Amino acid sequence: MRWRRGIAPSRAAAGAALVLALGSAGAPAQTPHTHDHAFRGAEAWARYFDDPARDAWQKPHQVIQALALAPDAAVADIGAGTGYFAVRLAHVTPQGRVYAVDVEPDMVRYLAERAGRERLANLVAVQGTPDDPRLPAKVDRALLVNVYHHIGDRERYFRRLGAHLGPGAEVAIIDFTRASPMGPPARERIPPEQVIAEMQRAGYRLARTHDFLPNQFFLVFRAD
């Protein structure tokens, strides 16, 4: 999960998941303290990223409910890491498809093996790059959890993502608030107002917000 050049991941340890790094040097997407680590050795990271204790603050069931997915929906989990959200998404879209995207090859390997091990034929591991998710088909929803602040050229990235969105598709962005007791260093956190402004420049409009996460904001966008 490597994104911005020159920035190594360092959001350490307990309780996170997802690992992306879209435009930088290596940073886990959905992990709270891992800004100084590389993300090889997926099996070792899985015990942190998929720690059940994370559920208390990440509230994955409520997040997925808020996405309002049809059973046949196509979903992109961008920054999927070891599959914390991707596996759950696959279970609620049995007639659909979940593209679990990561830029760290070892995470992509792990995701593919996990899909086979858990018999999730609708879960597809995708090797993304820092500036392109490389989705093989259009999707109805894209989810980015603790990934946005890792993306380098965000306007360019989300314009590219737009080409992979189907009619009426939505992009959900979840990331740490400035006040969160976990997450990246304060200087690297991006306030929701800035996210909204940047997404508008990339061709998106804010559709709605959710406020049930204690440590993160949750914004949902649609392409104009």
The string of pLDDT tens digits covering residues 76-87 is 999 999 999 999
Residue 163: partners with Cβ closer than 8 Å, 6 or more residues away: none
- Please indicate, yes or no, if residue 57 is contained in any of the structural domains: yes
Residue 5: partners with Cβ closer than 8 Å, 6 or more residues away: 23, 24, 25, 152
- Please indicate, yes or no, if residue 82 is contained in any of the structural domains: yes
Percent of the chain with pLDDT over 70: 79
- Please indicate, yes or no, if residue 122 is contained in any of the structural domains: yes
| Whether the predicted pLDDT of 13 surpasses 70 | no
- Please indicate, yes or no, if residue 78 is contained in any of the structural domains: yes
Strands 97-102 and 10-11: unpaired
CATH number for the domain spanning 46: value is: 3.40.50.150
Percent of the chain with pLDDT over 90: 75
Residue 105 — very low, low, confident or very high, per pLDDT cuts 50/70/90?
very high
- Please indicate, yes or no, if residue 132 is contained in any of the structural domains: yes
Q: What's this model's pTM, rounded to 2 decimal places?
A: 0.83
Tell me the mean pLDDT in the region 29-46.
Answer: 51
- Please indicate, yes or no, if residue 2 is contained in any of the structural domains: no
Residue 161 — very low, low, confident or very high, per pLDDT cuts 50/70/90?
very high
- Please indicate, yes or no, if residue 189 is contained in any of the structural domains: yes
- Please indicate, yes or no, if residue 1 is contained in any of the structural domains: no
Question: Which pLDDT score, from 0 to 100, does residue 68 have?
Answer: 97
Tell me the mean pLDDT in the region 64-71.
Answer: 98
User: Which 3-state string (H, E, C) describes the chain?
Assistant: CCCCCCCCCEECCCCCCCCCCCCCCCCCCCCCCEECCCCCCHHHHHHHHCCHHHHHHHCHHHHHHHHCCCCCCEEEEECCCCCHHHHHHHHHCCCCEEEEEECCHHHHHHHHHHHHHCCCCCEEEEECECCECCCCCCEEEEEEECCHHHCCCHHHHHHHHHCCEEEEEEEEEEEECCCCCCCCCHHHCCCHHHHHHHHHHCCEEEEEEECCCCCEEEEEEEEC
Residue 51 — very low, low, confident or very high, per pLDDT cuts 50/70/90?
confident
| Whether the predicted pLDDT of 164 surpasses 50 | yes
Structural domain including 108 reads 10-223
Tell me the mean pLDDT in the region 90-97.
Answer: 98
| Whether the predicted pLDDT of 158 surpasses 70 | yes
Give the least confident one: 1-15, 172-186, 208-222.
Answer: 1-15
How many domains in the chain?
A: 1
Question: Which pLDDT score, from 0 to 100, does residue 10 have?
Answer: 28
Name the token pair of 116.
Answer: 């086979």
